[in-house]
Chains A and B, each alone.
Chain A
Amino acid sequence: MYDAGKVIVGLLVFLCLITFPVWYNVGSGKGDFKPDLQLGTQEKECVAPKLQIRASHMQLLDTWRDTVVREGPRLYRTWNGKTFEMSLTKTCLRCHSKKEKFCDECHSYAGVEPNCWNCHVIPKETQ
């Protein structure tokens, strides 16, 4: 092999780069971390079924915001006929009162930075 030194150094750099997640997780020691959500409510029902909320809550909130701010109506009828006010603070956060233990737990795990708190005041934690 010609220029063996340079080629081997290049290959080693390449291997280090593509195995970055492996040694990074070893270094951080948090590879097995899993979000642990705390509801902070006795309520059993959300405004939509659990799976749908998990997957599409951001779209629901986006629709709510546009509906309330641009069109006016403030009441939301759920799939099973209940009525809720379309409000992050008054509806969502009333049950999910612990932002850090609920919203942030998943968002920081998935690296998502929602823009809710650009306008909304971060609620004070109620223990």
Chain B
Amino acid sequence: MGIGFSLTAVILLVLIAMVGAGAARLEVLFGVVFPYLALVVFVVGFIYRVVMWARSPVPFRIPTTCGQQKSLPWIKPSKVENPYTAWGVIVRMALEVLLFRSLFRNTRAEMHNGRLAIGSAKWLWMAGLAFHISFFTIVLRHLRLFTEPIPFFVQWANRLDGLFDLAVPTLYMTDLLFLVSVGYLFLRRVFIPQLRYISLAQDYFPLFLLLGIGISGVLTRQLFKVDLEAVKELALGLTQFHPTVPKGIGLSFYVHLFLVSALVAYFPFSKLMHLAGVFLSPTRNLANNNRMKRHINPWNYPVKVHTYEEYEEEFRDKMKAVGLPVEKE
């Protein structure tokens, strides 16, 4: 059900772009209004969700650790797996964000001849990392259309990505890697029964949308040919807030742009918010120093206390009278 719904939704988006920018000639709507709207929704929604997360108190340190905790001086602590300093947390977060360290520990349980066997399972980690790296490189490469002159690191990304010089126009490595890894991330949800059971439309929809973006992008570049100069004119106009819509860019560009706009607008409402969420995960971003520092619960109300000093002050004479020892004479 989730698959059908998501696929239909993405196909509908493609059709809307085809009819709108193609048949109805609403180039301004699809080239300027929708991208801007999508960006506004993205930025406002993104900040809103981050602020909502930041408003949740985390009174106690709850990192999920998998190393020796810092304790007695002669026991070697695991500085990164069980961080107790800010630097440990930074290294741990960097490994998590850049290399998906926790996913690397992924395991898979299976019955083998009536016995439960647990083994490492790296495919998800590999496909996930391949997908994120290629998506990042693709976004970086697209900056060539948004900047003039093109910054050196964008040129480097371009050059490195087209290193194999396959086909004309050069087929980018990351384009292939992107389609293959998103394809894998989709197929695993279909073919692994347990995963299929827990997969919902909100899991399939982003995957179909990303596939749609990837396929329309590759087709736009390799097959359908759009007027690149006009595309850059539009993109540069958008960045400077005085967009012009040149005539005759080509339909496949508008399909690609509309799918991207849909993704950008959908982003804050979706699981894709893990982009920000990974930095705000209390099980990752906290140092495990519960016993080294005092962490005060933020919603503690002031408790009325009566200390021993005050008690003695109040009853000193009576205590002395019955011969009880007092600290101050």
Instruction: Identify the A interface with B (CB < 8 A).
Output: 1-4, 7, 10-11, 14-15, 18, 20-22, 24-26, 28, 30-35, 54-56, 58-59, 62, 106, 108-111, 113, 115
A4–B148 Cα gap in the complex (Å)?
A: 36
B149 in contact with A31 (CB, 8 Å):
no
Select B147's contact among A24, A35, A54, A62, beta carbons within 8 Å.
A24
A1 in contact with B55 (CB, 8 Å):
yes
The 7 closest A-B pairs by CB, nearest first: A111-B144, A21-B146, A55-B225, A21-B239, A62-B168, A7-B54, A111-B150
A3 in contact with B54 (CB, 8 Å):
yes
A31 in contact with B43 (CB, 8 Å):
no
A21–B145 Cα gap in the complex (Å)?
A: 9
Residues of B in contact (CB 8 Å), total 41
B154: which A residues are within 8 A, CB to CB? Answer: 111
A31 in contact with B228 (CB, 8 Å):
no
Select A28's contact among B144, B147, B168, beta carbons within 8 Å.
B147
Q: For chains A and B in complex, what number of residue pairs have CB atoms within 8 angstroms? A: 88
Shortest beta-carbon distance from A27 to chain B in Å: 10
A34–B233 Cα gap in the complex (Å)?
A: 8
A115–B58 Cα gap in the complex (Å)?
A: 56
Q: Identify 19 residue pairs between A and B in the complex whose beta-carbon atoms are under 8 Å apart, listed by A's number.
A: A1-B54, A2-B56, A3-B54, A14-B276, A20-B147, A22-B239, A25-B147, A25-B239, A25-B240, A26-B240, A31-B148, A34-B229, A56-B225, A109-B148, A110-B144, A110-B145, A111-B154, A113-B159, A115-B165
Q: Does B317 contact A (CB under 8 A)?
A: no
Q: A33-B236, A110-B228 are in contact. List 18 more A-B contacts (CB 8 A).
A: A2-B55, A7-B50, A10-B276, A11-B47, A14-B276, A22-B239, A24-B147, A25-B236, A28-B147, A30-B148, A30-B149, A32-B236, A33-B148, A54-B227, A58-B169, A109-B148, A113-B155, A113-B158
